[in-house]
Chains A and B, each alone.
Chain A
């Protein structure tokens, strides 16, 4: 259970992450805004409460691993890592610039704190399971947190991994699905593109321990992760019901928010809305 102050601290952090995401993307023609905003609350819970890490030693062997399999949401993770001190905040403004260490999609060979290179959807699922298996071989108790997109789980590779991770009893693997219900070409929760259906039921059928929570309720996310950590013998998944483009009325639930830019006055508008929200915490 989180205290009132802890809840407030986590919510302030995630709002700051969202604001940094907007500031990173605004100078560029476009960036992956929608999915970066929807996952910010989960990242805030992970990095403020649930994960073991050392910003001064990003490859510390006692750390928990995070694989952002929906690798295009690098901006949200970069903002999180900068705010946690993995690298200077000023670096955020180099997103997608020539020679940057903050590329559009996560690259472990460039960015301190990025544990896995991702971007081709579905692949982080398997690399995360590989890390989890390796940690078990080493008899270490580090955990692997895997962030999947809801569109991403249309990839067959995710379900190959799901079958194998359950078979191998990888209970140190905790997946979070950002169920924001939108993909580039439309909705994920109806027949417009490819209906992902009942995600938790699917994982349950694959012998995972599945939970569904409001992905913007930091207390619910925290409680679900606690339960997942206590679960033994099977991998866990937490389906986060979220709003794509969360925090700015122009991007919320907008299919075009997957990748979009900002007109000059729009950044100010987005930041003002987010600041107003933050001021209520």
Chain B
């Protein structure tokens, strides 16, 4: 069961996601000797050197080689370890896709893949490092559980949970700053959408970067007398079909909002559920099948139409199509 409290005011996190990730992993590793960490020369970027300092033998920095890093993690898990593997999102998913698929999922391994710098948060690294397709690649792999933790509170809870569940996981993590949506101590159920705000005219189903934007859009629309439900769909697979069906039945219009390509993204995943059940008008806010590009996040959110204004406009469009 989701047991969370949404912050009264949605503001920027005071800390960084990577720092929280490293700390929670250290805490878990103290309790569970099976936990090991692998990286492909991005420990410095991910801020996981403190883990290495605490557990030098349980840290395997393979250097710049994603295929072998993922493969070794899969082997370690079959031997009995619980490996976490970090590299940037495009590298762990796109570059090592076949290793994740065969050595990981098909092999029934137990590896927790961490892809950092999702979508526009890759910012100054630009198009080569900006994954708009990572979740889609992972979604096509049977047995994968795919999660985009929203903020530090959720990250802490989800990382703890996945360490204890056997199987292949992909976690898409912002590396640096993000918006704080949940109060500390919140807990979440994997596979169950978090209802952030109830409403009657439309439902915004948002993930990651777009959650705070969706809440802001809901505020803007409320001022205009439009009542919007906001769901945080942090688990993309297995997706919460019941919440999607209920949103369609009770609000009659759905808007998806994601920092990812809408093709094979959250938009696709939600639409798949709707067309099998009772469809309603859907608008998809997200990257419209484009490559990323370089620039500050403030520019990129406008460039790829991921703002609260974009979401609000999409809500009105969806309602008009009812």
Residues from chain A with Cβ under 8 Å of B74 in the complex: 126-127, 130
Q: Is the CB of B58 within 8 A of A126?
A: no
Q: Which residue of A lies closest to B73 (CB)?
A: A130
Interface residues of B in 12-67 (CB under 8 A from A): 36, 57-58, 60, 62-63, 65, 67
B70 proximity list for chain A (CB < 8 A): 126
**Interface status of A56 (Cβ within 8 A of chain B):** no
User: Separation in Å of the A97 CB from the closest CB of chain B?
Assistant: 20
- Which residues of B from 214 to 270 have beta carbons under 8 Å from A? none
Q: How many residues of B contact A (CB 8 A)?
A: 29
Given A126-B103, A137-B36, A160-B65, CB of A131 within 8 Å of CB of B71:
no
- Least CB distance, A197 to chain B, in whole angstroms: 21
Contact pick for B78, options A116, A157, A164, CB 8 Å: A116
Q: What residues of A have a CB within 8 angstroms of the CB of B68 in the complex?
A: 125-126, 129, 157, 160-161, 164
Residue in A closest to B76 when the chains form the complex, CB atoms? A130
The CA of A161 and the CA of B99, in the complex, are separated in Å by 13
Query: Which residues between 151 and 169 of chain A lie within 8 Å of chain B, taking CB atoms?
Result: 156-157, 160-161, 163-164, 167-168
Interface presence of B80 (CB below 8 A): yes
Asked whether A123 lies within 8 Å of B78 as measured between CB atoms, the reply is: no
Q: Mark A86-117, 1 if CB is under 8 A from B, else 0.
A: 00000000000000000000001100000111
Verify if B313 is at the interface (C-beta below 8 Å from A).
no
Contact B76 A134 (CB under 8 A): yes
Beta-carbon contact of B72 and A129 below 8 Å? yes
A128 contacts which chain B residues (CB < 8 A)? 75
Contact indicator A119/B102 (Cβ below 8 Å) = yes
Contact B79 A134 (CB under 8 A): yes
Residue from B58, B71, B80 within 8 A of A127 (CB atoms)? B71
Cβ 8 A contact of B63, one of A123, A129, A131, A163: A163
Q: Is the CB of A123 within 8 A of B99?
A: yes
Indicate if the CB atoms of A116 and B76 lie closer than 8 Å: no
Most B CB within 10 A of own CB, among A127, A134, A163: A127
CB distance from B117 to the nearest CB of A (A): 22
Residues of B with C-beta under 8 A to A115 = 78
Q: Which residues of B contact A108 (CB under 8 A)?
A: 78, 107-108
Chain A residues near B83 (CB-CB < 8 A)? 130
Contacts of A274 in B (CB 8 A): none
Q: Which chain B positions have C-beta within 8 A of A156?
A: 67
Interchain CB contact under 8 A, B76 and A123: no
Contacts of A134 in B (CB 8 A): 75-76, 79-81
A-B pairs with beta carbons under 8 Å apart, 10 shown: A108-B108, A117-B107, A123-B102, A126-B71, A129-B71, A130-B74, A130-B83, A134-B75, A164-B65, A164-B68
Known interface pairs A120-B98, A164-B63; 19 further A-B residue pairs with C-beta atoms within 8 A, sorted by A's residue number: A109-B108, A116-B75, A117-B102, A117-B107, A120-B102, A122-B67, A123-B71, A125-B68, A126-B68, A126-B75, A129-B71, A130-B73, A134-B80, A135-B79, A137-B36, A157-B68, A161-B72, A164-B60, A167-B63
